[in-house]
Amino acid sequence: MANTQSAKKAARQTTRRTAANKARRTRLRSSMRKVEEAIASGNKEAARAALKEAEPVVARAAQKGVVHRKAASRKVSRLAKRVGAMGAS
């Protein structure tokens, strides 16, 4: 248990940051799942739209330190590649 004032404050900050990062990670995963589902359904327009919505969410997660920036870039790149490879529909 934290004894000093600074340790108590650090514990409060950690709790607050953890909650915020959890929410960001959930948004990140949800947005990526929407793209995956659109790809699986075979609807290229829906996949494009979902990717366009997911890209800033992934970038924001990287900016806030939830995921590494290169990991975020890789995720977006792989999704974009899969969306691009879909047949026209």
Q: What is the pLDDT of residues 20-74, one digit of tens each?
A: 999 999 999 999 999 999 999 999 999 999 999 999 999 999 999 999 999 999 9
Instruction: Indicate if the pLDDT at residue 88 is higher than 80.
Output: no
All residues at 6 or more sequence positions from 57 whose CB lies less than 8 Å from its CB, including other chains = 27, 28, 31
User: What structural domains does the chain harbor?
Assistant: 5-85 (1.20.58.110)
